[in-house]
Homo-oligomer: A and B are copies of this chain.
Amino acid sequence: MLIGAVEAGGTKFVCGIGNEAGEVLDRVSFPTEQPEKTLGRVIDYFRDKNVSAIGIGSFGPINIDVNSPEYGYVTTTPKPGWGNYPVLPELKRAFDVPFGWDTDVNAAALGEATWGVAKGLDSCLYYTIGTGVGVGVYIEDKLTHGLVHPEGGHVLTRHYPGETFAGVCPYHGDCLEGVAAGPAIEARWGVKASELPADHQAWEIEAFYIGQAIASAVLLVSPKRVILGGGVMHQMQLFPLIREQVRRNLNGYVSASALAEGIDQYIVPPGLGDNAGLCGSLALGLRALRG
Protein backbone atom coordinates (compact mmCIF):
# COMPACT_ATOMS: atom_id res chain seq x y z
CA MET A 1 0.00 0.00 0.00
CA LEU A 2 1.30 3.42 -0.95
CA ILE A 3 0.74 6.68 0.90
CA GLY A 4 1.27 10.11 -0.57
CA ALA A 5 3.04 12.85 1.38
CA VAL A 6 3.23 16.60 0.79
CA GLU A 7 5.59 18.83 2.71
CA ALA A 8 4.08 22.20 1.87
CA GLY A 9 6.67 24.82 2.70
CA GLY A 10 6.69 28.53 2.13
CA THR A 11 9.84 28.26 0.00
CA LYS A 12 9.50 24.83 -1.53
CA PHE A 13 7.08 21.93 -1.80
CA VAL A 14 8.25 18.34 -1.45
CA CYS A 15 5.99 15.55 -2.68
CA GLY A 16 6.70 11.89 -2.08
CA ILE A 17 5.43 8.36 -1.86
CA GLY A 18 6.00 6.10 1.10
CA ASN A 19 4.78 2.96 2.80
CA GLU A 20 3.52 1.93 6.24
CA ALA A 21 7.07 1.39 7.46
CA GLY A 22 7.86 5.05 6.93
CA GLU A 23 10.09 4.35 3.96
CA VAL A 24 10.19 7.11 1.37
CA LEU A 25 10.16 5.42 -2.05
CA ASP A 26 10.13 8.49 -4.25
CA ARG A 27 10.36 12.26 -3.82
CA VAL A 28 10.34 15.39 -5.90
CA SER A 29 10.76 19.02 -4.92
CA PHE A 30 9.82 22.31 -6.57
CA PRO A 31 9.68 25.96 -5.55
CA THR A 32 6.53 27.43 -3.99
CA GLU A 33 5.03 29.76 -6.59
CA GLN A 34 1.42 30.88 -7.03
CA PRO A 35 -0.94 28.35 -5.42
CA GLU A 36 -2.73 27.34 -8.64
CA LYS A 37 0.56 26.50 -10.30
CA THR A 38 2.11 24.82 -7.27
CA LEU A 39 -0.93 22.71 -6.42
CA GLY A 40 -1.19 21.83 -10.12
CA ARG A 41 2.27 20.29 -9.87
CA VAL A 42 1.25 18.40 -6.74
CA ILE A 43 -1.79 17.01 -8.54
CA ASP A 44 0.29 16.07 -11.61
CA TYR A 45 2.76 14.25 -9.39
CA PHE A 46 0.17 12.07 -7.66
CA ARG A 47 -2.03 11.45 -10.72
CA ASP A 48 -0.58 8.05 -11.69
CA LYS A 49 0.79 7.07 -8.28
CA ASN A 50 -2.26 5.18 -7.03
CA VAL A 51 -1.92 6.28 -3.40
CA SER A 52 -4.41 5.11 -0.75
CA ALA A 53 -4.22 8.34 1.25
CA ILE A 54 -2.38 11.66 1.22
CA GLY A 55 -0.94 13.52 4.19
CA ILE A 56 -0.08 17.22 4.04
CA GLY A 57 2.07 19.08 6.53
CA SER A 58 1.74 22.74 5.66
CA PHE A 59 3.33 26.10 6.38
CA GLY A 60 0.87 28.37 8.12
CA PRO A 61 -1.02 29.69 9.72
CA ILE A 62 -3.61 27.18 8.53
CA ASN A 63 -7.12 26.17 9.51
CA ILE A 64 -7.15 22.69 11.09
CA ASP A 65 -10.61 22.88 12.67
CA VAL A 66 -12.59 20.11 10.96
CA ASN A 67 -15.83 21.84 11.87
CA SER A 68 -14.92 25.10 10.17
CA PRO A 69 -16.07 25.97 6.62
CA GLU A 70 -12.47 27.10 6.04
CA TYR A 71 -10.97 23.75 7.13
CA GLY A 72 -7.91 23.07 5.02
CA TYR A 73 -7.21 26.69 4.13
CA VAL A 74 -3.93 28.50 4.49
CA THR A 75 -5.20 31.56 6.38
CA THR A 76 -3.49 34.86 7.21
CA THR A 77 -0.12 34.38 5.52
CA PRO A 78 1.38 37.46 3.87
CA LYS A 79 2.74 35.17 1.13
CA PRO A 80 1.37 36.55 -2.19
CA GLY A 81 -1.55 34.53 -3.51
CA TRP A 82 -1.73 32.15 -0.55
CA GLY A 83 -3.75 34.27 1.91
CA ASN A 84 -7.04 32.51 2.70
CA TYR A 85 -6.38 29.88 0.02
CA PRO A 86 -8.28 26.52 0.04
CA VAL A 87 -5.26 24.22 -0.31
CA LEU A 88 -6.83 21.04 1.03
CA PRO A 89 -10.22 21.47 -0.71
CA GLU A 90 -8.41 21.90 -4.04
CA LEU A 91 -6.40 18.70 -3.58
CA LYS A 92 -9.47 16.83 -2.36
CA ARG A 93 -11.27 17.65 -5.60
CA ALA A 94 -8.49 15.89 -7.51
CA PHE A 95 -8.19 12.67 -5.46
CA ASP A 96 -10.90 10.64 -3.77
CA VAL A 97 -8.77 9.32 -0.91
CA PRO A 98 -8.57 10.13 2.83
CA PHE A 99 -6.48 13.24 3.51
CA GLY A 100 -4.44 14.14 6.57
CA TRP A 101 -3.86 17.85 7.16
CA ASP A 102 -1.87 19.60 9.87
CA THR A 103 0.95 22.08 10.39
CA ASP A 104 4.40 21.15 9.09
CA VAL A 105 5.79 20.99 12.63
CA ASN A 106 2.90 18.94 14.01
CA ALA A 107 3.47 16.56 11.09
CA ALA A 108 7.17 16.33 11.88
CA ALA A 109 6.39 15.62 15.55
CA LEU A 110 4.04 12.81 14.51
CA GLY A 111 6.59 11.39 12.09
CA GLU A 112 9.26 11.29 14.79
CA ALA A 113 6.79 9.67 17.22
CA THR A 114 5.85 7.08 14.60
CA TRP A 115 9.23 6.12 13.11
CA GLY A 116 11.88 8.44 14.48
CA VAL A 117 13.61 9.40 17.67
CA ALA A 118 10.37 9.59 19.68
CA LYS A 119 9.11 6.21 18.49
CA GLY A 120 7.07 4.50 21.19
CA LEU A 121 6.68 7.69 23.24
CA ASP A 122 3.26 9.26 23.73
CA SER A 123 4.57 12.81 23.70
CA CYS A 124 7.23 14.99 22.14
CA LEU A 125 7.86 18.54 20.99
CA TYR A 126 9.36 19.18 17.56
CA TYR A 127 11.08 22.55 17.12
CA THR A 128 12.25 23.79 13.78
CA ILE A 129 14.76 26.63 13.95
CA GLY A 130 15.08 27.86 10.38
CA THR A 131 13.71 30.86 8.52
CA GLY A 132 11.23 30.99 11.36
CA VAL A 133 10.75 29.06 14.58
CA GLY A 134 7.88 26.56 14.76
CA VAL A 135 6.87 24.01 17.36
CA GLY A 136 4.91 20.81 16.80
CA VAL A 137 3.14 19.53 19.90
CA TYR A 138 2.33 15.86 20.39
CA ILE A 139 0.78 15.04 23.77
CA GLU A 140 -0.90 11.90 25.13
CA ASP A 141 -0.73 10.31 21.68
CA LYS A 142 -2.44 13.25 20.00
CA LEU A 143 -1.38 16.24 17.96
CA THR A 144 -2.38 19.45 19.69
CA HIS A 145 -4.81 21.65 17.77
CA GLY A 146 -6.85 23.75 20.19
CA LEU A 147 -8.09 27.21 19.36
CA VAL A 148 -5.95 27.62 16.22
CA HIS A 149 -2.75 25.57 16.41
CA PRO A 150 0.49 25.82 18.34
CA GLU A 151 2.67 28.80 17.43
CA GLY A 152 5.34 28.28 20.06
CA GLY A 153 8.01 30.04 18.02
CA HIS A 154 6.65 33.38 19.15
CA VAL A 155 6.93 32.99 22.93
CA LEU A 156 8.72 35.71 24.85
CA THR A 157 12.12 35.03 26.36
CA ARG A 158 14.38 37.11 28.55
CA HIS A 159 17.16 38.95 26.81
CA TYR A 160 20.66 37.58 26.84
CA PRO A 161 22.52 39.69 29.43
CA GLY A 162 23.50 42.98 27.81
CA GLU A 163 21.80 42.19 24.49
CA THR A 164 20.24 45.27 22.91
CA PHE A 165 19.27 43.68 19.58
CA ALA A 166 15.59 44.55 19.04
CA GLY A 167 14.71 41.39 17.12
CA VAL A 168 13.14 40.99 13.69
CA CYS A 169 9.65 39.53 14.26
CA PRO A 170 7.19 41.89 12.56
CA TYR A 171 4.65 41.18 15.31
CA HIS A 172 6.75 41.01 18.46
CA GLY A 173 10.25 42.21 17.68
CA ASP A 174 12.17 40.15 20.18
CA CYS A 175 10.06 37.00 20.57
CA LEU A 176 11.98 33.70 20.23
CA GLU A 177 11.68 33.72 16.43
CA GLY A 178 12.62 37.38 16.37
CA VAL A 179 15.92 36.77 18.16
CA ALA A 180 16.81 33.16 17.30
CA ALA A 181 15.65 32.18 13.79
CA GLY A 182 18.17 32.27 10.92
CA PRO A 183 17.29 35.80 9.76
CA ALA A 184 17.72 37.09 13.33
CA ILE A 185 21.21 35.63 13.52
CA GLU A 186 22.02 37.22 10.20
CA ALA A 187 20.63 40.59 11.28
CA ARG A 188 22.53 40.50 14.57
CA TRP A 189 25.93 39.61 13.12
CA GLY A 190 25.72 40.90 9.58
CA VAL A 191 26.68 37.56 8.04
CA LYS A 192 24.76 34.44 7.14
CA ALA A 193 24.31 32.08 10.10
CA SER A 194 25.98 29.27 8.18
CA GLU A 195 29.14 31.36 7.82
CA LEU A 196 29.71 31.96 11.53
CA PRO A 197 32.47 29.76 13.01
CA ALA A 198 31.45 27.02 15.43
CA ASP A 199 33.13 28.77 18.36
CA HIS A 200 31.51 32.16 17.70
CA GLN A 201 29.64 33.79 20.58
CA ALA A 202 26.56 33.72 18.38
CA TRP A 203 25.95 30.09 19.35
CA GLU A 204 26.06 30.74 23.05
CA ILE A 205 23.46 33.47 22.62
CA GLU A 206 21.41 31.21 20.36
CA ALA A 207 21.47 28.42 22.95
CA PHE A 208 20.52 30.89 25.68
CA TYR A 209 17.27 31.74 23.90
CA ILE A 210 16.36 28.28 22.66
CA GLY A 211 17.22 26.66 25.99
CA GLN A 212 15.10 29.14 27.87
CA ALA A 213 12.08 28.52 25.63
CA ILE A 214 12.51 24.76 25.93
CA ALA A 215 12.76 24.93 29.73
CA SER A 216 9.47 26.79 29.93
CA ALA A 217 7.85 24.36 27.48
CA VAL A 218 9.12 21.38 29.49
CA LEU A 219 7.58 22.91 32.60
CA LEU A 220 4.25 23.63 30.93
CA VAL A 221 3.60 20.34 29.10
CA SER A 222 6.25 17.87 30.31
CA PRO A 223 7.10 16.27 26.93
CA LYS A 224 8.93 12.93 26.91
CA ARG A 225 11.38 14.15 24.27
CA VAL A 226 12.33 17.43 22.60
CA ILE A 227 13.49 17.29 18.98
CA LEU A 228 15.32 20.19 17.35
CA GLY A 229 15.45 20.45 13.57
CA GLY A 230 15.69 23.11 10.88
CA GLY A 231 18.63 24.78 9.13
CA VAL A 232 20.10 26.52 12.17
CA MET A 233 20.30 23.21 14.06
CA HIS A 234 22.78 21.95 11.50
CA GLN A 235 25.19 23.66 13.89
CA MET A 236 25.60 20.55 16.01
CA GLN A 237 27.64 22.37 18.66
CA LEU A 238 24.33 23.97 19.69
CA PHE A 239 23.00 20.74 21.22
CA PRO A 240 25.28 20.57 24.29
CA LEU A 241 24.95 24.33 24.78
CA ILE A 242 21.15 24.13 24.68
CA ARG A 243 21.03 21.14 27.04
CA GLU A 244 23.14 23.09 29.51
CA GLN A 245 20.79 26.07 29.34
CA VAL A 246 17.76 23.86 29.93
CA ARG A 247 19.39 22.29 33.00
CA ARG A 248 20.41 25.66 34.31
CA ASN A 249 16.90 27.07 33.92
CA LEU A 250 15.13 24.07 35.46
CA ASN A 251 17.72 23.97 38.24
CA GLY A 252 16.69 20.53 39.46
CA TYR A 253 13.07 21.47 40.05
CA VAL A 254 11.64 18.69 37.88
CA SER A 255 12.98 15.44 39.26
CA ALA A 256 13.44 13.13 36.25
CA SER A 257 16.51 11.30 35.04
CA ALA A 258 15.64 12.34 31.47
CA LEU A 259 16.43 15.91 32.50
CA ALA A 260 19.65 15.05 34.33
CA GLU A 261 21.95 12.20 33.30
CA GLY A 262 19.60 11.36 30.42
CA ILE A 263 19.48 14.80 28.84
CA ASP A 264 21.66 13.84 25.85
CA GLN A 265 18.87 11.48 24.81
CA TYR A 266 16.16 13.96 25.74
CA ILE A 267 17.07 16.97 23.59
CA VAL A 268 18.03 15.51 20.24
CA PRO A 269 18.17 16.04 16.47
CA PRO A 270 15.41 14.51 14.31
CA GLY A 271 15.82 10.75 13.96
CA LEU A 272 14.48 10.95 10.41
CA GLY A 273 17.02 13.58 9.39
CA ASP A 274 16.12 15.43 6.24
CA ASN A 275 13.11 13.16 5.77
CA ALA A 276 11.53 14.40 9.03
CA GLY A 277 9.11 16.69 7.21
CA LEU A 278 8.12 14.26 4.47
CA CYS A 279 7.79 11.32 6.87
CA GLY A 280 5.62 13.49 9.06
CA SER A 281 3.24 14.07 6.18
CA LEU A 282 3.36 10.35 5.46
CA ALA A 283 2.34 9.66 9.06
CA LEU A 284 -0.55 12.11 8.70
CA GLY A 285 -1.68 10.25 5.58
CA LEU A 286 -1.46 6.91 7.32
CA ARG A 287 -3.41 8.22 10.28
CA ALA A 288 -6.11 9.56 7.96
CA LEU A 289 -6.39 6.17 6.30
CA ARG A 290 -6.76 4.30 9.57
CA GLY A 291 -9.35 6.79 10.79
List the interface of chain A (C-beta within 8 A of B).
61, 75-76, 123, 135, 137, 139-140, 142-159, 171-172, 212, 215-224, 249, 251-256, 258-259
Closest to A125 in B: B220
Say yes or no: A147-B255 contact (C-beta < 8 A), given A140-B142, A156-B215. Answer: no
Q: Are B216 and A148 in contact (CB-based, < 8 A)?
A: no
* In-complex Cβ contact of A171 among B146, B158, B252, B258 (8 A): B252
Closest to A252 in B: B171
When distances are taken between beta carbons in the complex, the residues of chain B under 8 Å from A252 are 171
**Alpha-carbon distance between A212 and B223 when the two chains are bound, in angstroms:** 22
**Alpha-carbon distance between A113 and B217 when the two chains are bound, in angstroms:** 23
Residue of A156, A215, A217 ringed by the most chain B CB atoms within 10 A: A156
25 A-B residue contacts at CB 8 Å? A75-B255, A76-B255, A137-B221, A139-B146, A140-B144, A140-B146, A142-B142, A146-B222, A147-B259, A148-B222, A148-B254, A148-B256, A149-B222, A150-B221, A151-B220, A151-B222, A151-B254, A153-B219, A154-B253, A156-B157, A156-B212, A156-B215, A158-B159, A171-B252, A221-B221
